Structures are given as C-alpha cells and as structure tokens.
C-alpha cells in the first residue's frame, strides 16, 4: 500500500467513526462496481447517503472537497444508480455528501459537507 492509499484509509476510518458518532448507520464501505468506487454508503434516518471521503495532510493544493469536480460527481451518481438498481431500492431519499479529513501534525479535523449534488 502506498502512502496516499494509507492516508486515504486513515481518512475513511476517521470518517466512519465521525459518522457513527452522528448516528449514521454504515451500510457499506468501499463499494465497488464497474462504474467506480463509493467510499461509504450510510443511512441517516430514512435517507441513504453516498459519501465521498477526501483526506489531506496539507491545503497547499486547495480544500479536499475541491477534488470532487463535475466529472467525479457524475461518477458518484452513476455508482449510486447502480447500487440502488442492483439492490432493488426504490422510493427512498438519497443524498451525496463529502467528508473532508484534515490530518495535522497534532491531530485531525473533520468537515462534513452535506448534499453536494
């Protein structure tokens, strides 16, 4: 596992812990299909939430959420459609969120951005 993958895994672990503390029910992590990968699929009350986790150790190249551009959002929507279709989920509210994880020398911080799409 390379350094970026390790940082990503740490970020996803921290995001999962954060979401559980906010009473989200984690349905699946690292859901993979032909359309790509969804970091976390969770349930927030009656809503299914598709969550992209972005982790950074510096903000020299911008905020983590800025990496979720138009093309990335299109991929996330396609993954969500496939997940809903294959699991025969209909008539439910869905949402797309980004969880930014900042890894600082003396700890970390979390920024949860709801409804990015």
0.95 exceeded by pTM: no
For residue 51, the surrounding DSSP H or E stretch is: strand 47-56
Say how far apart CA 54 and CA 8 lie, in whole Å: 7
pLDDT digits over 50-106, tens only? 999 999 998 888 898 888 999 999 999 999 999 999 999 998 999 999 999 999 989
Q: Say what the pLDDT of residue 7 is.
A: 84
Fold entry, domain 3-113 = Trna Endonuclease; Chain: A, domain 1 (3.40.1350)
């Amino acid at each position: 596992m390379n350094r970026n993958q390790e940082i990503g895994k740490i970020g996803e672990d921290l995001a999962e812990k954060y979401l559980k503390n906010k009473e989200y029910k984690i349905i699946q992590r690292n859901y993979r299909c032909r359309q790509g990968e969804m970091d976390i699929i969770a349930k927030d009350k009656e809503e299914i939430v598709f969550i992209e986790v972005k982790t950074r150790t510096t903000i020299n190249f911008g905020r983590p959420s800025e990496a979720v551009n138009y093309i990335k959002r299109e991929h996330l929507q396609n993954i969500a459609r496939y997940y809903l279709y294959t699991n025969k989920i209909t008539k439910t509210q869905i949402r797309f969120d980004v969880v930014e994880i900042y890894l600082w020398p003396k700890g970390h911080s979390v920024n949860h951005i709801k409804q990015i799409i």
